[in-house]
Amino acid sequence: MKRPAIISLSMLVALSSLAEDNVTASVSSARQGKMSNGILSATIEPGGRLNVLKHSSSNVNLLSSNGIYFDYTAEANSALSAKEAKVVKLTDDYAEIQYINNSGDLHVTQGYIMRKGVSGVYTYVIFEGTPTSSNVSVREARVCTRTQPAFTWGYVSDTMKGDMPTCSEMTEAEKSENTIQDATYRLADGSIYTKYDWANFIVDDMFHGLVSPNRKLGVWNITASHEWLNGGPMRQELTVHSTSKSPITIQMLQGEHLGGAAQTYEDGEVQIFGPFLIYVNSGETPEDMVADARSRAAEESEQWPYQWFDNEYYPLDRSTVQGQIRFTTGQSSADMQVVLCEPGGEIITQGKKYIYWGKTDENGYFSIPHVRKGDYALRVYALDGTITEEFEYTDVTVEDTVTDLGLLYFYPETYDNLLWSIGVSDRLSDGYAISNHPRAYGLWNDVPASLTFIPGTSDPATDWYYAQCKNGTWTVKFNLDEEYEGDAHLTASSAAATNRPTVAVKVNDEKVASWYYGYNDASIYRSATQAGRHALNSVTFPASKLRKGENTVSFTMSGINKNGGVMWDCIKLEAGERVVSGIADVSADSEVAGPYDIYTVGGLHVATAATLDDLDLPKGLYIYRCGTKAGKIVM
């Protein structure tokens, strides 16, 4: 292990000798931009495309003819096509050039930044709404880096890396007779290649890139924050892939892939994407360059928000939002996903405002740093267990250095008797057969159309699959030791739904529900194995439909010709009364000194009183809390 360390040290010594060079930048009257810091030199075309990027170790252009460019897709694909260019700031340590197009309905600015001693170019994009920009539905927006053909080795994660097809191989593959679907091709050796095999969850994507093993150079996208990327923590996006034109590493800014949604901007609405770093390094092996890129990504993350970046749309005065989640039912609030976003709607379809997230610890505490000040909703959902609901706490105003939301109570829909459950509630189909396979086209071919699963006997890892993706019936067979009165409750959390499937639900061969998923997240036929767009369905039916002894609940898929279906997250069957509280006390303790905080059973704080005798509330059941004491009170 010593040799790579020596190589890395020698590389750093070589770069440090160049790091003393001052940064230079200029824009000609023809809008051609030039930037250099001694490590890298760049040339930018008048339209805003960075078409030359040279590293001092080789002095050859790392980019193909298309270079580094921004584009977005609405009704058609649009390039930046800048009409104006200017040097925004230039010092010995820092240079920033902007390329601007204010001629369209949506105004777009792209900035390029070089810093002294940094082997990379930072870039950002700004959208500004106009009186007519609401006519533009932005489906995708991205910054692409197209490298020379020699960059044939891709990296997304330690399990998603390696050689990619060459440009010449892709030229043959992209012919119509070898095209299977969008961006999916049959190679000469019979294997199938698609860019979707290289997609990744954005929460896991701090860096990805391309390496030229022969030239011993790497080009990387490094994102210190994903606050500006649409869809929140469950989003997946494209990273690197190969084409006949060139290898390409992409930084998606906005996308519809795997469940995301288009965004429109009203007059006066502004969003800034980035800055993120296009990083260039060198090393003896791809693994050396991966290690260096990982280290650089960690360094960038520590620096966020960048104190050196001065932009009116990029506030440095930010807040840490913290609090504690508890459930009135007494269930654990550990390992919950906490998201700050817009109120209403699905998180995955949001995007034109900034999204932040974190997780609760074993005691339900959470802390989310670097949050822009403003108004948000707080969403909470499980990453373990059987709580399938999403909870929302609205009217969160972030205005101080620390915004402490205190203790937040939520009221899960939980019933006295959990008869069985399959999977854990985490919005993923993980833990099921095939779900841990590398992304690949055609995995649905290995899934049976029909199966029978026995909770407590069958193994989810081998007997239940990542997706129900053929027309057929999956049956859950189970025994009950007794009969139940009242209602039974079947809840099904799905991790994805592709090609608008319909699922008919039967209990002991009697139909109780039909669930129609009216969207196509494309997850199944675009190589996803764990998630797309989440949905939650449930049905309540008379518990008398269940009987002592053997029972069945069946899910019959229909409405898909091929390549569609549902990825199941967690399915559970319950019976009995709804659990109102996990609190054992049923009356107030008169010896406890106030104040008392009073909550509805839904977790809403409605009053604070010195004593319980002081309460003046509508009739009903409430929960009181005073220090470590808690109980129920009926008004």
pLDDT score for 586: 41
The answer to whether residue 335 sits within a structural domain is yes
Q: Which residues contact 331 (CB under 8 A, 6 or more apart)?
A: 385, 387, 412, 414, 582
Q: How far apart are CA 400 and CA 600, in angstroms?
A: 28
Last residue of a domain, one of 410, 429, 447: 410
The answer to whether residue 378 sits within a structural domain is yes
Give 103-116 pLDDT, tens digit per residue: 999 999 999 999 99
Sorting pLDDT into bands at 50, 70 and 90, what band is 16? very low
Residues 349 and 234 in one domain: no
The answer to whether residue 591 sits within a structural domain is no
- The secondary structure of the chain in percent helix, strand, coil, rounded to multiples of 5, reads 10, 45, 40
133 DSSP 8-state letter? G
Sorting pLDDT into bands at 50, 70 and 90, what band is 587? very low
Q: Which helix (H) or strand (E) holds 111?
A: strand 107-115
The answer to whether residue 336 sits within a structural domain is yes
Residues 58 and 97 in one domain: yes
pTM over 0.85: yes
Residues 16 and 165 in one domain: yes
Residues 425 and 388 in one domain: no
pLDDT score for 57: 85
Residues 120 and 209 in one domain: yes
The tokens 């519809």 sit on which residue? 256
Strands (E), 283-335: 319-327
Share of the chain above pLDDT 70, in %: 93
Sorting pLDDT into bands at 50, 70 and 90, what band is 258? very high
Sorting pLDDT into bands at 50, 70 and 90, what band is 18? very low
Residues 441 and 565 in one domain: yes
Sorting pLDDT into bands at 50, 70 and 90, what band is 15? very low
Residues 487 and 600 in one domain: no
For 18-86, the DSSP string reads: HTTSPPEEEE-TT--EEEE-SSEEEEE-TTS-EEEEEETTT-SB-EEEEEEEEEEESSSEEE---SEEE
Rounded to the nearest integer, the mean pLDDT of the chain is: 93
- Neighbouring-strand partners of residue 506: 511, 554
Mean per-residue pLDDT, 597-616: 78
Residues 117 and 197 in one domain: yes
Inform me whether the pLDDT recorded for 623 exceeds 70: yes
Last residue of a domain, one of 578, 604, 621: 578
Q: How far apart are CA 208 and CA 240, in angstroms?
A: 7
Q: Give the CATH number, domain containing residue 346.
A: 2.60.40.10
Inform me whether the pLDDT recorded for 7 exceeds 80: no
- Neighbouring-strand partners of residue 381: 337, 390
Strands (E), 225-282: 236-237, 240-242, 247-254, 270-282
> CA dist 483 to 303, 409, 439, 544, 545, Å?
60, 33, 44, 7, 9
Domain that holds residue 75: 2-303
Mean per-residue pLDDT, 322-347: 94
Last residue of a domain, one of 271, 303, 335: 303
Amino acid at 595: P
> CA dist 555 to 464, 469, 518, 533, 566, Å?
13, 12, 17, 19, 11
The answer to whether residue 426 sits within a structural domain is yes
Structurally, the chain folds into a number of domains equal to: 4
Tell me if 588 sits within 8 A of 503, measured CB to CB: no
Residues 603 and 509 in one domain: no
Sorting pLDDT into bands at 50, 70 and 90, what band is 122? very high
* Chain centroid, CA 170 distance in Å: 29
Residues 59 and 147 in one domain: yes
Tell me if 540 sits within 8 A of 467, measured CB to CB: no
Tell me if 541 sits within 8 A of 488, measured CB to CB: yes
> CA dist 318 to 129, 373, 375, 398, Å?
24, 6, 13, 9
Q: How far apart are CA 293 and CA 226, in angstroms?
A: 18
Mean per-residue pLDDT, 529-551: 98
Is the N-terminal amide bond of 275 cis, ω within 30° of 0?
A: yes
Residues 360 and 292 in one domain: no
Q: How far apart are CA 488 and CA 472, in angstroms?
A: 25
Q: Which residues of 356-390 are buried (b: 16+ CB within 10 A; e: fewer)?
A: bbbebeeebbbebeebbeeebbbbbbbbebbbbbb
The CA-based angle 443-444-446, given to 5 degrees, is 75
The answer to whether residue 589 sits within a structural domain is no
pLDDT score for 591: 53
Q: Which residues contact 452 (CB under 8 A, 6 or more apart)?
A: 474, 475, 476, 477
The answer to whether residue 587 sits within a structural domain is no
* Chain centroid, CA 631 distance in Å: 39
533 DSSP 8-state letter? S
Pairing assessment for the beta strands 451-453 and 472-480 based on DSSP bridges: parallel
pLDDT score for 184: 98
Is the N-terminal amide bond of 501 cis, ω within 30° of 0?
A: no
The answer to whether residue 357 sits within a structural domain is yes
Indicate the burial class of 598 (C-beta count within 10 angstroms; 0-12, 13-18, 19 or more): buried
Q: Give the CATH number, domain containing residue 515.
A: 2.60.120.260
Residues 192 and 226 in one domain: yes
